[in-house]
Amino acid sequence: MSSRISGFYKLSVEERREIVTKERGLTEKELSYLSGEQAMSMELADAMIENVIGQIAIPVGIAANFKINGQDKFIPMATEEPSVVAAASNAARAAYSEGGFFTSLSGTIMRGQIQVLNIADPFAARAKIFEHKQEILDLCNEKDPTLVSFGGGAIDLEVHIIPTANHMMLVIHLIVDTKDAMGANAVNTMAEFVAPTIESITGGRVVCKIISNLADRRLARARAVFSAEAMGGKEVVENIVSAFEFADADPYRAATHNKGVMNGISAVVLASGNDTRAVEAGAHAYASVSGRYKSLTKWEITQDGNLSGSIELPMAVGIIGGATKTHPVAQAALKIMDISSAEELAGCIAAVGLAENAASLRALSAEGIQRGHMSLHARNLAVMAGADAADIDRIVAQAVQEKDLRYDRILEITQSIQRGE
Ligand SMILES: CC(C)(COP(=O)([O-])OP(=O)([O-])OC[C@H]1O[C@@H](n2cnc3c(N)ncnc32)[C@H](O)[C@@H]1OP(=O)([O-])[O-])[C@@H](O)C(=O)NCCC(=O)NCCSC(=O)C[C@@](C)(O)CC(=O)[O-]
Ligand SMILES: NC(=O)C1=CN([C@@H]2O[C@H](COP(=O)(O)OP(=O)(O)OC[C@H]3O[C@@H](n4cnc5c(N)ncnc54)[C@H](OP(=O)(O)O)[C@@H]3O)[C@@H](O)[C@H]2O)C=CC1
């Protein structure tokens, strides 16, 4: 299949669904979940979270033009924000001609932290933990034979001594390969199970036993070259690099720059039924590991003047466990992306984050963000103004032509159309 579909956005919803169905073999049932015709059952919703009274629908769009590790992919993105899907498709188009995105994952390894207090001699306690390392790892693995049968499980220990205001804390890291699961439940179960053993080895008192979302042994990396011509020429490319340097040097700018990266990342994480907060916490913590909050992406200029981008961030996502298997739309999303491992999913998500950042920086470095973003957001404003679906395009076209995308003006145009003027 080819994901490079010029004008995909100009097709009707039905035509887009037909293309994706033809290429990815979606069933009637999957399509009806995606369209919302068949809602998730209230029994399932009630089993997923607590005190359920309903559901909220978020649109799922397909980002076109993605080639990742040589394979063309349709990328499902769940987001409430206009222009995010358009932006990803736009930048992916500029990378497509240069071979698309290339990705890797450093591993599927998570850390569980066990906090131990009341130890008089923490350095000796640290040594004792290492003497019992194999016993601790075996206990952890006893708790998750399924994970072990898939080649995962607890594989190592780290012991950190952390001075705090009131204590010299011993913090043990369980290093766990969670394979195709995100792994929080698996790691938390192990950490709680071994806590009494840790207490008896160290003589201390265990308090917190929990996964760390700074998943620095599960780093997803993606890189791509974006054609200078498609990005708007030499000056825009140079401006993009200076916009990156600004973000890398100034946390006020980096927060917004990384918000743009996360526009893409969170949308795919959500569509795939993964935990958006876990990935977001990991991303922002990783952006600060140097002691200063920085850009998650890097931008350079290639020898032949094209734009070269790369991204590296923790990507704790799974294709098993959590809501990934229970939510019917998440299952359809993985099928649309043709994903068969957590590693592959992590790479795709990183690629989308890089593309999203490229598109935002291009807009900021050229005409400004408002032209593209606001002309798409204007559709929302027309809905807010009470426009009929059939009139939305006409209202937006007039506001764009007038270069006045304020709500007040859109309301006036809407009301004038409704009066038949
Ligand atoms: C919005 C565009 C894409 C328009 O861009 P354009 O230049 O008007 O688009 P074009 O007509 O030249 O089309 C180029 C390609 O864009 C895509 N495209 C074009 N239009 C659509 C559409 N309606 N729906 C879906 N896809 C669309 C599509 O792939 C198309 O290729 P084609 O199909 O023609 O071969 C561009 O202005 C853009 O990329 N802007 C960036 C928007 C953005 O970053 N939005 C995020 C929200 S703002 C924010 O939260 C983050 C921020 C900005 O603060 C981060 C930061 O500060 O770093
Ligand atoms: N700080 C955080 O990020 C926290 C997040 N969470 C939540 O935890 C959930 C994710 O936890 P997670 O442990 O992934 O979910 P699950 O416990 O639902 O799934 C993981 C389990 O699936 C089983 N499994 C089956 N096949 C495989 C395979 N191929 N690879 C790996 N495991 C396999 C394993 O064993 P078995 O069958 O024995 O279970 C494994 O323990 C999310 O819902 C997240 O929101 C929870 C607490 C904190």
Q: For ligand 1, atom 36, name the residue with the nearest CA.
A: 372
275 part of the active site: yes
pLDDT for position 421: 85
CB 337 within 8 A of CB 326: no
Q: Looking at the predicted structure, is the pLDDT value of residue 371 above 80? A: no
Catalytic residue among 180, 275, 312, 356: 275
Q: What tens digit of pLDDT does each residue of 41-80 get? A: 999 999 999 999 999 999 999 999 999 999 999 999 999 9
Q: Looking at the predicted structure, is the pLDDT value of residue 166 above 90? A: no
Give the integer Cα–Cα distance in Å for 165 and 168: 8
CB 198 within 8 A of CB 114: yes
For the chain, the structural domain boundaries read 8-104+223-366, 109-212, 372-418
pLDDT for position 8: 97
pLDDT for position 157: 98
Pick the ligand that lies closest to the CA of residue 377.
Answer: 1
Q: What is the mean pLDDT of residues 230-257?
A: 98
CB atoms within 10 A of CB 72: 18
132 part of the active site: no
Q: What is the mean pLDDT of residues 157-174?
A: 94
Q: How confident is the model at residue 200 (pLDDT cuts 50, 70, 90)?
A: very high
- Residue 67 parent element (H or E): strand 60-68
Q: What is the mean pLDDT of residues 331-348?
A: 97
- Distance from the alpha carbon of residue 363 to the mean position of ligand 1, in angstroms: 8
18 part of the active site: no
Catalytic residue among 259, 298, 325, 335: 259
Q: Looking at the predicted structure, is the pLDDT value of residue 354 above 90? A: yes
Residue with the bigger pLDDT between 321 and 254: it is: 254
CB 359 within 8 A of CB 376: no
Answer yes or no: is the C-beta of 183 below 6 A from any ligand 2 atom: yes
142 part of the active site: no
Give the integer Cα–Cα distance in Å for 225 and 247: 20
Three-point CA angle 375, 381, 387, nearest 5°: 115
- Distance from the alpha carbon of residue 89 to the mean position of ligand 1, in angstroms: 7
Token couple for 344: 């592959």
Mean pLDDT lowest for which of 57-66, 96-105, 341-350, 361-370? 361-370
> Would you say how long the chain is, in residues?
421
Which atom from ligand 2 is nearest to the alpha carbon of 278?
A: 3
CB 309 within 8 A of CB 224: yes
Pick the ligand that lies closest to the CA of residue 183.
Answer: 2
CB 279 within 8 A of CB 265: yes
Provide the angle, in degrees to the nearest 10, between the axes of the packed helices 251-271 and 328-337.
100
- Distance from the alpha carbon of residue 373 to the mean position of ligand 1, in angstroms: 7
Q: What is the Rg, in whole angstroms, of the alpha carbon atoms belonging to the chain?
A: 24
pLDDT for position 120: 92
Give the integer Cα–Cα distance in Å for 68 and 223: 10
**Helix/strand/coil (H, E, C) string of 229-264?**
HHHCCHHHHHHHHHHHHHHHHCHHHHHHHHHHHHHH
Handedness of CA 42, 47, 53, 56 (dihedral sign): negative
- Residue 297 parent element (H or E): strand 297-301
Mean pLDDT of the chain: 96
Give the integer Cα–Cα distance in Å for 381 and 373: 12
CATH number of 8-104+223-366: 3.90.770.10
Token couple for 105: 């994952």
Which of the following CATH numbers is that of domain 109-212: 3.30.70.3280, 3.30.70.420, 3.40.50.620, 3.40.50.2300?
Answer: 3.30.70.420
Q: How confident is the model at residue 374 (pLDDT cuts 50, 70, 90)?
A: confident
CB 306 within 8 A of CB 97: no
Q: For ligand 2, atom 29, name the residue with the nearest CA.
A: 180
Please name every residue paired with 301 in a beta bridge, in sequence order, or none if there are none: 307
Q: How confident is the model at residue 352 (pLDDT cuts 50, 70, 90)?
A: very high
Angstrom CA distances, 109 to 74, 211, 285, 296, stand at 27, 11, 17, 20
- Residue 226 parent element (H or E): strand 219-226
pLDDT for position 124: 97
- Distance from the alpha carbon of residue 218 to the mean position of ligand 1, in angstroms: 30
String of DSSP letters for 123-170: HHHHHHHHHTHHHHHHHHHHT-HHHHHTT-EEEEEEEEEEE-SS-EEE
Coil vs helix vs strand at 117? strand
Q: What tens digit of pLDDT does each residue of 151-160 get? A: 999 999 999 9
Q: How confident is the model at residue 368 (pLDDT cuts 50, 70, 90)?
A: confident
Pocket test for ligand 1, best of 90, 265, 393 (most atoms within 8 A of CB): 90
